[in-house]
Amino acid sequence: MKRLEIKDLHVSVEDKEILKGVSLTVNEGEVHALMGPNGNGKSTLLMTVMGHPAYRVTSGSITLDGQDLLAMSVDARSKAGLFLGMQYPQTIDGVTNSDFLKAAVNAHRDEPISLFTFIRQMDKAFSDLGMKDDLAHRYMNEGFSGGEKKRNEIVQMKLLKPDLAMLDEIDSGLDIDALKIVADNINEMHESNNMAAIIVSHYERFLEYVRPAFAHVLVDGRIVASGGYELVEKIDTEGYEWLKAQNVEFKKEEVPVRVSLGSCAVNQKGRKNGNG
Protein backbone atom coordinates (compact mmCIF):
# COMPACT_ATOMS: atom_id res chain seq x y z
CA MET A 1 0.00 0.00 0.00
CA LYS A 2 1.61 3.24 -1.13
CA ARG A 3 0.23 6.39 0.34
CA LEU A 4 1.60 9.84 -0.33
CA GLU A 5 0.66 12.35 2.31
CA ILE A 6 1.40 16.04 1.97
CA LYS A 7 0.54 18.09 5.03
CA ASP A 8 0.46 21.86 5.30
CA LEU A 9 3.34 22.22 2.89
CA HIS A 10 5.03 25.59 2.55
CA VAL A 11 7.67 25.97 -0.12
CA SER A 12 9.84 28.89 -1.15
CA VAL A 13 11.97 29.50 -4.18
CA GLU A 14 14.66 32.11 -3.76
CA ASP A 15 12.91 33.40 -0.62
CA LYS A 16 9.60 33.81 -2.40
CA GLU A 17 6.86 31.66 -0.93
CA ILE A 18 5.12 29.67 -3.67
CA LEU A 19 3.20 27.01 -1.74
CA LYS A 20 1.32 28.34 1.24
CA GLY A 21 -0.02 25.30 3.02
CA VAL A 22 -0.86 22.49 0.62
CA SER A 23 -2.35 19.28 1.96
CA LEU A 24 -3.04 16.34 -0.31
CA THR A 25 -3.28 12.59 0.12
CA VAL A 26 -2.89 10.15 -2.75
CA ASN A 27 -3.58 6.51 -2.03
CA GLU A 28 -2.42 3.52 -4.00
CA GLY A 29 -3.95 3.40 -7.45
CA GLU A 30 -5.68 6.78 -7.23
CA VAL A 31 -5.48 9.16 -10.15
CA HIS A 32 -5.66 12.85 -9.26
CA ALA A 33 -5.88 15.81 -11.59
CA LEU A 34 -4.15 18.96 -10.42
CA MET A 35 -5.45 22.04 -12.16
CA GLY A 36 -5.16 25.76 -11.81
CA PRO A 37 -4.04 28.86 -13.65
CA ASN A 38 -0.41 29.13 -14.71
CA GLY A 39 2.17 30.19 -12.17
CA ASN A 40 0.18 29.18 -9.08
CA GLY A 41 2.35 26.34 -7.79
CA LYS A 42 1.41 23.11 -9.56
CA SER A 43 4.88 22.39 -10.91
CA THR A 44 6.41 23.59 -7.66
CA LEU A 45 4.42 20.98 -5.78
CA LEU A 46 5.58 18.15 -8.05
CA MET A 47 9.19 19.32 -8.07
CA THR A 48 9.17 19.55 -4.28
CA VAL A 49 7.78 16.05 -3.88
CA MET A 50 10.55 14.80 -6.17
CA GLY A 51 13.22 16.76 -4.25
CA HIS A 52 14.44 19.48 -6.59
CA PRO A 53 17.04 21.34 -4.50
CA ALA A 54 15.90 24.80 -5.65
CA TYR A 55 12.54 24.32 -3.88
CA ARG A 56 12.96 24.88 -0.14
CA VAL A 57 10.42 23.40 2.21
CA THR A 58 9.94 25.91 5.01
CA SER A 59 7.32 23.92 6.90
CA GLY A 60 4.99 20.97 6.56
CA SER A 61 5.69 17.36 5.70
CA ILE A 62 5.62 14.85 2.88
CA THR A 63 5.56 11.16 3.66
CA LEU A 64 5.35 8.03 1.57
CA ASP A 65 3.91 5.15 3.54
CA GLY A 66 4.84 7.06 6.66
CA GLN A 67 8.47 7.49 5.56
CA ASP A 68 9.76 11.05 5.62
CA LEU A 69 10.25 11.83 1.94
CA LEU A 70 11.96 15.13 2.69
CA ALA A 71 14.82 13.28 4.33
CA MET A 72 15.42 11.18 1.22
CA SER A 73 17.70 11.95 -1.71
CA VAL A 74 16.17 12.43 -5.15
CA ASP A 75 17.29 9.02 -6.41
CA ALA A 76 16.03 7.36 -3.22
CA ARG A 77 12.60 8.91 -3.89
CA SER A 78 12.66 7.43 -7.36
CA LYS A 79 13.62 4.03 -5.98
CA ALA A 80 10.85 4.35 -3.41
CA GLY A 81 8.38 4.42 -6.29
CA LEU A 82 8.00 8.04 -7.40
CA PHE A 83 8.30 9.23 -10.96
CA LEU A 84 8.22 12.75 -12.31
CA GLY A 85 7.35 13.23 -15.97
CA MET A 86 8.67 16.69 -16.64
CA GLN A 87 7.16 19.63 -18.40
CA TYR A 88 10.56 20.40 -19.89
CA PRO A 89 12.52 17.14 -20.21
CA GLN A 90 16.27 17.61 -20.25
CA THR A 91 18.42 17.08 -23.30
CA ILE A 92 21.60 15.19 -22.49
CA ASP A 93 24.09 15.18 -25.28
CA GLY A 94 26.50 12.29 -25.57
CA VAL A 95 24.25 9.95 -23.60
CA THR A 96 22.12 7.74 -25.81
CA ASN A 97 18.51 7.24 -24.91
CA SER A 98 19.00 3.48 -24.61
CA ASP A 99 22.08 3.81 -22.38
CA PHE A 100 20.20 6.19 -20.13
CA LEU A 101 17.13 3.98 -19.98
CA LYS A 102 19.24 0.94 -19.16
CA ALA A 103 21.10 2.82 -16.41
CA ALA A 104 17.77 3.98 -14.97
CA VAL A 105 16.28 0.49 -15.06
CA ASN A 106 19.37 -0.97 -13.42
CA ALA A 107 19.29 1.69 -10.72
CA HIS A 108 15.97 0.19 -9.63
CA ARG A 109 17.26 -3.37 -9.52
CA ASP A 110 19.65 -5.33 -7.35
CA GLU A 111 21.04 -7.24 -10.33
CA PRO A 112 21.58 -5.61 -13.74
CA ILE A 113 18.92 -6.46 -16.29
CA SER A 114 20.00 -8.80 -19.10
CA LEU A 115 20.56 -7.02 -22.38
CA PHE A 116 18.02 -9.22 -24.12
CA THR A 117 15.29 -8.50 -21.57
CA PHE A 118 16.05 -4.82 -21.58
CA ILE A 119 15.92 -4.52 -25.35
CA ARG A 120 12.65 -6.43 -25.44
CA GLN A 121 11.11 -4.15 -22.80
CA MET A 122 12.46 -1.01 -24.42
CA ASP A 123 11.26 -2.03 -27.89
CA LYS A 124 7.81 -2.76 -26.51
CA ALA A 125 7.63 0.59 -24.72
CA PHE A 126 8.71 2.38 -27.90
CA SER A 127 6.15 0.47 -29.91
CA ASP A 128 3.42 1.18 -27.34
CA LEU A 129 4.16 4.88 -27.60
CA GLY A 130 4.35 4.81 -31.40
CA MET A 131 7.92 6.05 -31.40
CA LYS A 132 10.45 5.52 -34.14
CA ASP A 133 13.10 2.89 -33.30
CA ASP A 134 16.01 5.20 -34.07
CA LEU A 135 15.06 7.46 -31.14
CA ALA A 136 16.45 4.76 -28.84
CA HIS A 137 19.91 5.24 -30.23
CA ARG A 138 19.92 9.00 -30.45
CA TYR A 139 21.27 11.17 -27.68
CA MET A 140 18.79 11.72 -24.87
CA ASN A 141 16.07 14.01 -26.24
CA GLU A 142 18.59 15.63 -28.58
CA GLY A 143 16.73 16.79 -31.67
CA PHE A 144 13.48 15.24 -30.43
CA SER A 145 10.31 17.14 -31.20
CA GLY A 146 8.27 18.41 -28.26
CA GLY A 147 5.88 15.49 -28.63
CA GLU A 148 8.68 12.94 -28.87
CA LYS A 149 10.19 14.26 -25.65
CA LYS A 150 6.88 13.81 -23.87
CA ARG A 151 6.40 10.31 -25.23
CA ASN A 152 9.93 9.54 -24.13
CA GLU A 153 8.96 10.50 -20.58
CA ILE A 154 6.18 7.93 -20.74
CA VAL A 155 8.61 5.33 -22.11
CA GLN A 156 10.70 5.90 -18.99
CA MET A 157 7.63 5.65 -16.80
CA LYS A 158 6.72 2.34 -18.38
CA LEU A 159 10.18 0.90 -17.89
CA LEU A 160 10.52 2.09 -14.30
CA LYS A 161 7.02 1.02 -13.26
CA PRO A 162 6.52 3.59 -10.48
CA ASP A 163 3.88 3.35 -7.76
CA LEU A 164 3.09 7.02 -8.21
CA ALA A 165 3.67 8.98 -11.41
CA MET A 166 3.59 12.77 -11.27
CA LEU A 167 3.05 14.04 -14.80
CA ASP A 168 3.59 17.73 -15.32
CA GLU A 169 1.79 18.94 -18.45
CA ILE A 170 2.77 15.73 -20.17
CA ASP A 171 0.11 16.47 -22.76
CA SER A 172 1.60 19.75 -23.96
CA GLY A 173 3.28 19.40 -27.34
CA LEU A 174 1.27 16.30 -28.22
CA ASP A 175 -0.93 16.15 -31.27
CA ILE A 176 -4.40 14.67 -30.97
CA ASP A 177 -3.33 11.12 -31.85
CA ALA A 178 -0.35 11.21 -29.52
CA LEU A 179 -2.57 12.56 -26.76
CA LYS A 180 -4.67 9.42 -26.96
CA ILE A 181 -1.63 7.13 -27.12
CA VAL A 182 -0.07 8.73 -24.02
CA ALA A 183 -3.36 8.60 -22.14
CA ASP A 184 -3.84 4.94 -23.10
CA ASN A 185 -0.41 4.09 -21.76
CA ILE A 186 -1.06 5.90 -18.49
CA ASN A 187 -4.35 4.04 -18.16
CA GLU A 188 -2.67 0.75 -18.96
CA MET A 189 -0.07 1.34 -16.20
CA HIS A 190 -2.83 2.35 -13.82
CA GLU A 191 -4.82 -0.79 -14.54
CA SER A 192 -2.01 -3.34 -14.75
CA ASN A 193 0.26 -1.99 -11.99
CA ASN A 194 -2.28 -0.13 -9.92
CA MET A 195 -0.15 2.94 -10.48
CA ALA A 196 -1.32 6.13 -8.81
CA ALA A 197 -0.89 9.44 -10.60
CA ILE A 198 -0.98 13.17 -10.09
CA ILE A 199 -1.61 14.74 -13.46
CA VAL A 200 -1.13 18.41 -14.12
CA SER A 201 -2.98 19.42 -17.23
CA HIS A 202 -4.92 22.32 -18.66
CA TYR A 203 -6.75 20.24 -21.22
CA GLU A 204 -10.03 18.55 -20.57
CA ARG A 205 -9.54 16.39 -23.68
CA PHE A 206 -6.53 14.69 -22.09
CA LEU A 207 -8.21 14.34 -18.72
CA GLU A 208 -11.27 12.94 -20.46
CA TYR A 209 -9.10 10.09 -21.73
CA VAL A 210 -7.49 9.46 -18.35
CA ARG A 211 -10.63 10.07 -16.27
CA PRO A 212 -9.06 10.95 -12.91
CA ALA A 213 -11.33 10.09 -10.01
CA PHE A 214 -10.06 13.08 -8.04
CA ALA A 215 -9.45 16.66 -9.04
CA HIS A 216 -7.99 19.66 -7.25
CA VAL A 217 -7.56 23.31 -8.10
CA LEU A 218 -4.41 25.01 -6.91
CA VAL A 219 -4.52 28.79 -6.73
CA ASP A 220 -1.86 31.01 -5.25
CA GLY A 221 -0.14 28.14 -3.49
CA ARG A 222 -3.25 26.64 -1.93
CA ILE A 223 -5.71 23.94 -2.93
CA VAL A 224 -8.94 25.92 -3.13
CA ALA A 225 -11.27 23.25 -4.48
CA SER A 226 -11.32 19.47 -4.55
CA GLY A 227 -13.78 17.00 -5.97
CA GLY A 228 -14.27 14.24 -8.46
CA TYR A 229 -14.16 14.26 -12.24
CA GLU A 230 -17.10 16.67 -12.30
CA LEU A 231 -14.68 19.37 -11.15
CA VAL A 232 -12.65 18.86 -14.34
CA GLU A 233 -15.82 19.26 -16.40
CA LYS A 234 -16.84 22.37 -14.50
CA ILE A 235 -13.51 24.02 -15.13
CA ASP A 236 -13.67 23.04 -18.78
CA THR A 237 -17.01 24.79 -19.20
CA GLU A 238 -16.71 27.65 -16.74
CA GLY A 239 -12.99 28.23 -16.33
CA TYR A 240 -11.81 29.45 -12.93
CA GLU A 241 -13.98 32.55 -12.66
CA TRP A 242 -16.58 30.84 -10.45
CA LEU A 243 -13.94 30.47 -7.74
CA LYS A 244 -13.81 34.25 -7.39
CA ALA A 245 -17.38 34.17 -6.22
CA GLN A 246 -16.17 31.93 -3.43
CA ASN A 247 -13.70 34.62 -2.36
CA VAL A 248 -10.69 32.84 -3.81
CA GLU A 249 -8.01 35.39 -4.48
CA PHE A 250 -6.18 34.78 -7.71
CA LYS A 251 -2.56 35.44 -7.99
CA LYS A 252 -1.77 37.95 -10.66
CA GLU A 253 -0.68 35.88 -13.59
CA GLU A 254 3.02 35.92 -14.15
CA VAL A 255 4.97 34.30 -16.88
CA PRO A 256 6.01 31.03 -15.26
CA VAL A 257 9.67 31.02 -14.49
CA ARG A 258 11.61 27.85 -15.06
CA VAL A 259 13.81 27.34 -12.07
CA SER A 260 17.24 26.32 -13.11
CA LEU A 261 20.02 25.00 -10.97
CA GLY A 262 22.44 26.81 -13.19
CA SER A 263 23.49 25.53 -16.52
CA CYS A 264 26.70 24.47 -17.98
CA ALA A 265 28.29 26.72 -20.53
CA VAL A 266 29.22 23.66 -22.50
CA ASN A 267 26.41 23.20 -24.93
CA GLN A 268 27.30 20.42 -27.30
CA LYS A 269 25.74 22.32 -30.15
CA GLY A 270 28.59 24.76 -29.70
CA ARG A 271 31.02 22.16 -30.90
CA LYS A 272 29.89 22.73 -34.42
CA ASN A 273 32.18 25.05 -36.18
CA GLY A 274 31.46 28.66 -36.58
CA ASN A 275 30.99 29.74 -32.99
CA GLY A 276 34.04 31.83 -32.79
Partner 1 sequence: METVSSSQTVVISSSDSQSVSRQFAVQGETYLVMMIEGDRKLDLQLEVRALEGSRMTFLLINHNREEVILHDSYHLEADSESVIAYCQLNDYPLQADGEYHLDGQGASLKVQNAAMTSDNKVFRQNTLHNERNTTANVNNYGIAMKGGSCDFDVRNRIGKGCHGSETHQTSRILTYDSQSRGRILPVLYIDDNDVRASHAATMGQPDRDQIFYMQTRGLSYQEAMKLITVGYLLPVSEVIDDENINSLLRQEIETKVSECLM
Please select the residue that binds partner 1; options are 68, 75, 133, 188, rule is CB under 8 A.
75
Question: What type of residue is 266?
Answer: V
Quote the least distance from Cβ 244 to partner 1, whole Å.
36
In sequence order, what are the residues at sequence separation of 6 or more whose Cβ sits closer than 8 angstroms to the Cβ of residue 64?
2, 3, 4, 5, 77, 80, 81, 82, 164
Q: How many residues does the chain have?
A: 276
Question: What type of residue is 149?
Answer: K
Positions 151 through 180 that interact with partner 1 (CB under 8 A): 156, 160
Residue 189 touching partner 1 (CB under 8 A): no
Is the Cβ of residue 226 or residue 268 nearer to partner 1 in the bound state? 268
- Which region, judged by CB under 8 A, interacts with partner 1, from 15-23, 45-53, 222-230, 236-244? 45-53
Residue 125 touching partner 1 (CB under 8 A): no
- Which region, judged by CB under 8 A, interacts with partner 1, from 64-72, 204-212, 248-256, 264-272? 264-272
Residue 103 touching partner 1 (CB under 8 A): yes
Is the Cβ of residue 56 or residue 251 nearer to partner 1 in the bound state? 56
Cα torsion through 190, 105, 87, 131, rounded to 10: -80
Residue 48 touching partner 1 (CB under 8 A): no
Cα torsion through 92, 90, 52, 201, rounded to 10: -160
Per-position DSSP letters for 81-146, written without gaps between them: TEEEE-SSPPPEEEEEHHHHHHHHHHHT-SSPPPHHHHHHHHHHHHHHTT--GGGGTSEETTT--H
Is the Cβ of residue 93 or residue 236 nearer to partner 1 in the bound state? 93
Collapsing DSSP to helix, strand or coil, 215 comes out as strand
State the residues that interact with partner 1 by CB under 8 A.
50-53, 73-75, 77-79, 83-84, 86, 89-90, 92-95, 99-100, 103-104, 107-108, 139, 156, 160, 260-268, 270-276
